[in-house]
Structure 1
Amino acid sequence: MQIGLYLPVVVLSGFWALVLILGPLFVPKSPNRGTIGFLFGMLVGLNVAISDMSTDVFATVGGIKVTIRFPALLFSLTLVSPFCFIRRIEALSAASSVAVILYSIFLLSLVIGYAVPKILSADFVVLHFRLWRPEGLVHCAPILASSLCCQVQVNTIYSSLKSASYYNMKRVLVWAVGFILICYLTAGFFGYIAFYNGPGSTVAGNILNMYPEDFHAAYIRLSFLYTMMASFPLILFPLRTSLHSLLFEEFDNGPLCAEPGLVIPNSRFRWLTAATIAMSVIVSQTTNRVEVILAHTGSLAGALICYVLPAVIHLRAAGTIMTLASGLAICLLLFGFFVLISPILTLLCVDA
């Protein structure tokens, strides 16, 4: 077993454990400790992906073979850092819309440019594909679970809505989760078809590494790089709010129940942003495998804050009355525990 592969897991786990230990000293009974661990892990995963994409784009477009990922990451973050210090999330809505359009174009190019020609080719054999692989489910379940978590964005979305109501909030979340689910299913299924070449071949965890080294692939990587850079300041909004409430505020129920109009002083806003970016950059240099970061982040922090805690809260409120909603909460709780222990299953079963 390679120790370097699990170094980021140890670092992330240590960071989250530090937050869990110090959290009660500042905000007793607050669930935002899990929120901080989840969002920080997502930020580290973005840094890893940005450094990889920047290296590939520089190598293909400029003919410059960048052998060190750190300078490429610093160059990309230099471009995106000014947007991280913007206080109004409405100013980032246009960049987010462009990212959604580019991601849709990426999926269309994957399906039309790579998967469909592979299906129509003469050597396409359906029996070569493995439609059921339990060990792959153990690897992918935390990533899929964490990708469908929108609870941490509730206050950010609510404060940016022109007509803030329960119906509008529900509609935004349903559309967001539906879009993410369709994107993940499309990229996973058609990416597997496009780049799997029969028994003995493997598909990389980062599907963009499977693209050929040409300018068409460079444009795809460049557009995907933009989507990740646009997501960076958006993840910082709830993470910064959670850190501020952990260190300086006294919310009994955590940042998800705080007033959406919470204003962070300018000095705290700036140094929290700078410190979070710097720490995420340092941790991201421990690995170049983004799937490892996302899987363990989704299983450790994401499972608790997004699945286990909501299920426990509902069951505690419902009491001994068993309803359909209570049954769904029990299923959600079991799924959360499965996601929580999935890294252990990966270490004991898959890697062995």
Structure 2
Amino acid sequence: MRSAILAAMGLCMFIYTVVAFSGLRVAELEGVGAIPGNVLDLFSSTDPLGLAMRVAISVAVTLAFPMLCLPCRSTVDHLVFGGGAFAASDAGARHRVEALFVVSITLLLSTTESDLSKVFGFTGATAGAIICYVLPVCLYLRLRCLRPAAERRMTLPIAVLSCFLLLAMIPGVVLMTWQVV
């Protein structure tokens, strides 16, 4: 199993590297100074190679959606409902509502923005923020509930202190990154 995962990772890395260098080479041959966020914008709308790549990306995005929707729905279910058992009488209806919510949000985002690079950028930024800042807190609080009451009493003061320290760093970061134009 491990060798299959490593082989898949290596193949993906190879394909992504070839695509990246090919896009940069085409941009160099076309005399483009700045590379756009979406390399396919370098190709005209009548170019058969550009059209083939657009179709391939559309198919890949369409086929990848179900693989991303199920874990997203499952994560929402675990965070909101504690991962309720499938045997619960309302589990099927609850899962349908959660899936409808995820699909609706996705449809809303996809219809409001047509530039795929902006959608990927937004998705990466929000997912990164959620993974780095929101999920650890949710998991900590979920696990903290299992601790004895004496240990749980310190949760609120520690949380307030942590928020205060984060807020205290903001002026320093602003001053360090401030650039006068």
TM-score normalised by the shorter chain: which range applies? 0.5 to 0.7
1:211 matches 2:43 = yes
Higher relative contact order (CA 8 A, sep 6+): 1
Question: Percent of counterpart pairs with the same letter?
Answer: 15
| Alignment deviations for residues 213-248 of structure 1 (CA, whole Å, 9 cap, x no partner) | 223422321122111100000001211111111122
Give secondary structure in 2 for the equivalent of 1:201.
coil
What is residue 333 of structure 1 aligned with on the other side? none
Query: Which residue of the partner structure matches residue 21 of structure 2?
Result: 189
- State which of 76, 82, 86 in structure 2 corresponds to 1:249: 82
Aligned in 2, Cα 1:242/1:197: closer, same or farther, shift over 3 Å? same
Alignment correspondent of 1:44:
none
Q: How does 1:1-352 map to 2 (within 5 A)?
A: 168=1, 170-197=2-29, 201-214=33-46, 215-249=48-82, 263=86, 265-284=91-110, 285=112, 288=115, 289-297=118-126, 299-302=128-131
> 2 CA distance for matches of 1:181 and 1:302?
23
Distance 1:282 1:349 in 2: 35
Letter of the aligned partner of 2:72 in structure 1?
Answer: L
Report Cα offsets for 1:32-59 as digits up to 9, x if no partner: xxxxxxxxxxxxxxxxxxxxxxxxxxxx
Unaligned runs of 5+ in 2: 138-172
Name the aligned partner's letter for residue 301 of structure 1. I
Q: Give the number of the structure whose alpha-carbon radius of gyration is greater.
A: 2
Cα distance in structure 2, aligned partners of 1:199 and 1:216: 18
What is the RMSD of the two structures over their aligned residues, measured on CA atoms? 3.7
2: CA distance, partners of 1:175 / 1:297: 29
Task: Call closer, same or farther: CA 1:218–1:197 in 2, change over 3 Å.
Answer: closer
> What does the per-residue CA deviation read over 1:262-306, in whole Å, with 9 as the maximum and x for residues that have no partner?
74832122111111111122234257323532442354235569x
Counterpart residue type for residue 78 of structure 2: S
Q: Could you tell me the TM-score, scaled by structure 2's length? A: 0.58
User: Does the residue aligned with 1:196 lie in a helix, a strand or coil?
Assistant: helix
Asked if the contact 2:69/2:99 (under 8 Å) is kept, the reply is yes
Uncovered stretches (5+) of structure 1, i.e. residues with no partner: 1-167, 252-261, 310-343
The one-letter code sitting in structure 1 at the alignment partner of 2:9 is V
Q: How many residues were matched structurally?
A: 136
Q: Does the 8 Å CA contact 2:77/2:83 hold for their aligned counterparts?
A: no
Residues 182-228 of structure 1: CA deviation (Å, up to 9, x unaligned): 22222222211111358871111111222222234223211221111
Q: Match of 2:141?
A: none
Q: Tell me: CA distance 1:250–1:298, structure 2 relative to 1, closer, same or farther (3 Å).
A: closer
What does residue 57 of structure 1 align with?
none
- Distance in 2 of aligned mates of 1:194 and 1:200: 9
Label 1:231 to 1:242 Cα distance change in 2 as closer, same or farther (>3 A).
same
Contact (CA 8 Å) 2:113, 2:119: kept in 1 or not? no
For residues 125 and 7 of structure 2, what CA distance do their matches in structure 1 show?
26
Tell me the amino acid that sits aligned with residue 101 of structure 2: A
Compute the TM-score of the two structures, normalised by the length of structure 1: 0.32
In 2, the alpha carbon distance for the partners of 1:192 and 1:205 equals 12
Mark the CA change 1:303 to 1:172 in structure 2 (over 3 Å): closer, same or farther: farther
